[in-house]
Homo-oligomer: A and B are copies of this chain.
Amino acid sequence: MAFSALFFSPKSSLPKMLPARPLTPKFRHFSLPLLRCSSTSPPAASFDLRGYWTSLIPQIESQLEAALPVRFPERIFEAMRYSVLAGGGKRAPPIMCIAACELVGGDRSAAFPTACALEMVHAASLVHDDLPCFDAAPLRRGRPSTHARFGVDMAVLAGDALFPLAYSHVVARTPQDLVPPATLLRALAEIARAVGSTGMAAGQFLDITGAAAAGEANVVAVLEKKFGEMAECSAACGGILGGAGEEETEGLRRYGRAVGVLYELVDDILMEEAGSNGKMRSNASVVVALGMDRAMEMLEELRAKAKRALQRFGDKYGDRVLPLYSFVDYAVERGFVVEAEGEGKAASAASATAAGAGDGNGDIGVDGNCGPSGE
């Protein structure tokens, strides 16, 4: 199986991240793996992640739009729609969910409603994270955050309403002929675990209480809870809905957790590189707490960890592992731009700017555009 070679291939030596601006010496420590995520001239083991991703976005947007009609009481729905739809988003959780489902041989229709539900849950958690009592973020995706636009009360309500809407959506929309009820219950339990008191809520708590200041293990714990859980849940749900057993689901959990943390870590590094004053960063900044050198080491460790978690899938499923595999490198390289409006508008490369990094508060894949690297 060619995938063993792929997983242990020697790294290429050229740093391709952030090519649109001068790389600092620190970034020159970077080295990329053999596999590249490009839609042009793909090498043998390459995969057009950009094409895969952008082809799914219109469907995701369309389902989210339909799930959030404006109806009475209008203002709640407006706040919910604003939180989920306005300004778009890369829809990374849904993409990961669908890719995991297809990896294990599932029909993407089985995962689609849960994929969209994950985006609702993701948006809800960001709306609450942005509240004045937590991150006090005035902006999200370059626009006023939900509480800044609609008021704190409406932001609390919008989040409170998006969580149950996600559950309703999964139950109402998942094709019964593709997903047995018992399987659907497992997926719902997975989402509940991820957002709950040992998951993202714990991450938010640890972040606001400054746990990240207490050494590497604590920084990692905060990152895993606050940022790893969503990706972990996305990959696990996709696997479950695609028919994965417990062991495979566990592998997908490890993969997702590593990628979620990796994505945030890269955002953190990019903000440091861009000279951010750290104002909008999570308290759990590896760069601030442990320094850039350790951050760069951790980046490579996480990238390797995520790929290791996929190895068994590569051996078993062959090419079907490529979407998730290439997602790992995308998390580091941000090699293309994804636009939420879909309909083929994606993939216009943009120069890296300070604003090009994520908001530094957990919005995986949004505005995290680091310039072209698919060349």
A73 touches which of B157, B171, B195, B206 (Cβ 8 Å): B206
A195 touches which of B72, B164, B196 (Cβ 8 Å): B164
Residues of chain B with a CB closer than 8 A to A76's CB? 197, 201-202, 205
Q: Is the CB of A171 within 8 A of B152?
A: no
A350, CB-defined interface residue at 8 Å? no
Interface residues on A, range: 35 or more
- Write the A189-217 contact mask toward B (1 if CB under 8 angstroms, else 0): 10111011110011011101100000000
- Name the residue on B nearest A155 (C-beta): B133
A202 touches which of B73, B185, B189 (Cβ 8 Å): B73
A172, CB-defined interface residue at 8 Å? yes
Q: Is the CB of A185 within 8 A of B181?
A: yes
Q: Is the CB of B156 within 8 A of A133?
A: yes
A31 shortest CB reach to chain B, Å? 37
Given contacts A133-B152, A185-B184, contact A157 B201 (CB under 8 A): yes
A209 to B154, CA, bound (A): 11
A153, CB-defined interface residue at 8 Å? yes
Q: Is the CB of B192 within 8 A of A164?
A: yes
Q: Is the CB of A167 within 8 A of B188?
A: yes
A192 to B117, CA, bound (A): 13
Q: Would you list 13 pairs from A and B whose C-beta atoms are within 8 A, ordered by A residue?
A: A72-B198, A75-B205, A76-B202, A77-B197, A128-B160, A159-B160, A163-B163, A164-B192, A164-B196, A167-B192, A171-B188, A181-B182, A181-B184
